[in-house]
Amino acid sequence: MEKYFEVLCMCPLFRDMAHWELTKVLRCLNARVSSFEKGEAVMNEGEPAKYVGIVLTGSFQIVRTDFFGNRSMIANLVPGELFGESFACAGVEAVPVSVLASEAAEVMLIDCLKICHSCSNACQFHQQMIYNLLQIVAAKNLMFHQKIEVTSKRTTHEKLMAYLMLQAKQFGSLEFEIPYDRQELADYLEVERSGLSAEIGKLRRQGVIEADRSRFKIYKPFDV
């Protein structure tokens, strides 16, 4: 377990916790670690929500697929990030998304009730963790606002530019790499892959952006 301490210390759920405390807390929470191959699901649409997951290594994607097979990309998760916490805290009986490993990856799974309910040992950390969880879930809310900001645009061009500008802002650079391939980016923007490729090609020819697979560079930012 100790080998994951570096990631866990960065995880906002365990904010301000020392290593010796972490050891104690993880035991109290009955935390366990699982490994996943690329494409494997750590959480499946329709399952009951019980666990909070923490990405330790690799990365995951939160995806929803509708009745007709249309995929919608919700988010990409990197080490230190949580998933499932909103469903577990809200007590939903069926999660509306799947969480898939986008490469070989490991997660720590914790029963959400163990976090939210004080333990018999009168463990001191629960209250702080509930507060941390509140901030994490609130931050996820902002992520949704961001996705809506992008996907509420009406054209592929506008969606793509809004997304790229947001990424550039977050990376603090006009050159950056996104965590999605073309199909996945199309699923995030809620547009057709071929149309997205066409739009990227057009912007490339116009000299507005440079795009090599997942690496983008914006030449003419029209910051709004």
Phi-psi region of 202 (alpha: psi -120 to 50; beta: other; left: phi over 0): alpha
Q: Which does 181 bind (CB under 5 to 8 A by kind): a second copy, DNA, none?
A: DNA
Placement of tokens 């100790």 in the chain: 2
Output 144 or 219, the one with its CB closest to a second copy: 144
**Residue 156 interacts with DNA (CB under 7 A)?**
yes
Nearest to 116 by CA among 202, 50, 188: 50
Contact 45, 97 (CB under 8 A): yes
**Number of helices and strands in the chain (H, E):** 8, 11
**Residue 74 interacts with a second copy (CB under 8 A)?**
yes
Q: Which of 195, 208, 210, 221 binds DNA (CB under 7 A)?
A: 195
Query: What is the Cα 98 distance to its own chain's centre?
Result: 12
Q: Which does 217 bind (CB under 5 to 8 A by kind): a second copy, DNA, none?
A: none
Question: For residue 198, how many other CB atoms are within 10 A of its CB?
Answer: 12
Q: Is 35 helix (H, G, I), strand (E, B) or coil?
A: strand
Q: Which does 131 bind (CB under 5 to 8 A by kind): DNA, a second copy, none?
A: a second copy
Shortest Cβ 222–DNA spacing (Å): 16
Binding residue count for a second copy, defined by CB under 8 A: 41
Q: For binding to a second copy (CB under 8 A), which residues are involved?
A: 64, 66-67, 70, 72, 74, 85-92, 96-97, 116, 127, 130-131, 133-135, 137-142, 144-149, 151-154, 190, 224
